[in-house]
A and B are shown apart, each in its own frame.
Chain A
Amino acid sequence: MEKTYYNPKDLKKFGNISDWNPELGAKFFEYYNSVFAEGKLTAREKSLIALAVAHTIQCPYCIDAYTDDGLKKGIEKEEMMEALHVAGAIRGGASLVHGVQMMNKVNKLSM
């Protein structure tokens, strides 16, 4: 077993997940590639979304992959940071909006 949970070299082995289930693996990667192709959203916009989501789910592989992808696509570091703040705002907002639930409960239980 590895001594750490994450190894940067494992990112390159992502495709290996198909080894133990080729059918579903192939379907997943076909879907994945279609998702990131130019569409109504540009590949550049999708890359920024992916970077923000990567930070939200805190996936080190995805952060590596989509930082590199962003640089390749000419995305500037300031744009990347803005995208992260969108993720941070939603994430923070998601905690805080539950404050309403807390307030409801407090109000219900308090005299």
Chain B
Amino acid sequence: MAVKSLHARNNSLSDPKEQLKFLSNGVFQNGELPKFAEKIEPLGHLPLKPAELEILQVNVGYMCNQVCTHCHVDAGPDRKEIMSRETMESILDVLKNTTVHTLDLTGGAPEMNPHFRWFVEEASKIGVQDYIVRSNLTILRANKKYHDMPSFFKEHNVHVVSSLPFYSKSRTDKQRGDGVFDKSIEALIELNKVGYGKSGSGLKLDLVYNPAGAFLPGDQAGLEMEFKKRLFDDFGIEFNSLFTITNLPISRFLEYLIASDNYEDYMDALVDAFNPAAVDGVMCRNTISVGYDGYLYDCDFNQMLDMKVNGSKTHISDFDIKALSTRDIKISQHCYGCTAGAGSSCQGTVV
């Protein structure tokens, strides 16, 4: 696994422009593979337009206790980009004045933001329908100050969505680092103890699976069955749903694809699995992603590629729902990751 972020290694791919260049060159430049725009144009989806805004996904910072090989955020302990309380206040204002029904906090490890608890408390007062925190699990066991987090989540009726790439130690640790599996299992047991994932508790605990390598996720329902069986049989762990997410060819996963000579085959597999039916449900159509510094993006991936939303109002302090609802969504070849097979979003498949 990578021990440092691209950023810390001064790797050229830490520059979003370099990544975008890569995604438009080679097989996409010589016409061997069609560009994403060419693929969605015949479907009447060019320009790609938003549907009703339902989800505000907020990246509260790139700091993380882990350095996973596939991370599209290039997160890690060395990343100091953290959302300020002022930006969080702007987000709360937006939440009070829109019909957004889902608030989705992500990172890095969101729990590491010093204003995290305050933000959760304030946002839960506003009463969004679905309040998601994306936890990498190990952070809950990383330090005593996080040990009460399961109870804190429960108190604010947070919907916990946790990454667990696999139900076996070897595949998990290979992607996320040594010891991650055991710590994740400990954290899941703690979440179960306060009621998360238990039927009738009303406390939702969903898991996110993403492939540990250059292959696409399999059938979500089949994998969910397998995860449920294995986690329950081996550890007595229960959870609600499994979301399968396709790895997008950006940041550290892009670095891995290039270094392992899998890039072209992976892009070929994504293009080959293009599913026109998945285009309707891509998450950029009902989501706005907010960066740690308050800038707005069509999705978390565009955020990492520094592709701000189209238009003149690109910051949370200028949030203009009218302008956003008529914007053209920015696309590039990484978008194939969301339209492959049954589609992929932060809520799993879309078809």
User: Hey, which bits of chain A sit against chain B, CB under 8 A?
Assistant: 12, 38, 42-44, 68-69, 71-74, 76
Contacts and interface: CB of A to CB of B under 8 A. Distances in A.
A74 B216 contact: no
A72 B168 contact: no
Interface string B139-179: 00000000000000000000000000011101100000000
A95 to B, nearest CB: 34
B168 A76 contact: yes
Interface in B253-310: 272
B215 A72 contact: yes
Contacts of B167: 74
B217 interface: yes
B127 interface: no
Contacts of A72: 211, 215-219
A24 B42 CA distance: 31
B223 interface: yes
Interface of B: 166-168, 170-171, 211, 213, 215-219, 222-223, 226-227, 272
B247 to A, nearest CB: 12
Nearest to B167: A74
B168 A44 contact: no
13 contacts: A12-B272, A38-B222, A42-B222, A43-B222, A44-B226, A71-B211, A72-B211, A72-B217, A72-B219, A73-B223, A74-B227, A76-B168, A76-B171
A92 to B, nearest CB: 29
A38 B272 CA distance: 23
Given A12-B272, A44-B226, A71 B215 contact: yes
Contacts of A76: 168, 170-171
A73 B168 CA distance: 14
Contacts of B171: 76
Nearest to A71: B215
B218 A73 contact: yes
B219 A73 contact: yes
A73 B166 CA distance: 11
Contacts of B215: 68, 71-72
A70 B122 CA distance: 45
A71 B219 contact: no
Nearest to B216: A72
A30 to B, nearest CB: 20
Contacts of B223: 73-74
B226 A74 contact: yes
Contacts of A68: 215
Nearest to B221: A38
A43 B211 contact: no
B307 to A, nearest CB: 29
A44 B211 CA distance: 16
A73 B213 contact: no
B218 A74 contact: yes
A74 B213 contact: no
Contacts of A74: 166-167, 218, 222-223, 226-227
B164 to A, nearest CB: 12
Contacts of A38: 222
Nearest to A43: B222
Contacts of B211: 71-72
A75 to B, nearest CB: 9
A69 B217 CA distance: 9
A39 B177 CA distance: 37
A71 B222 contact: no
Contacts of B166: 74
Contacts of B227: 74
Nearest to B215: A71
A65 to B, nearest CB: 12
Given A43-B219, A71-B213, A74-B227, 19 more contacts: A12-B272, A42-B222, A44-B222, A44-B226, A69-B218, A71-B211, A71-B215, A72-B211, A72-B215, A72-B216, A72-B217, A72-B218, A73-B218, A73-B222, A74-B167, A74-B222, A74-B223, A74-B226, A76-B171
B293 to A, nearest CB: 37
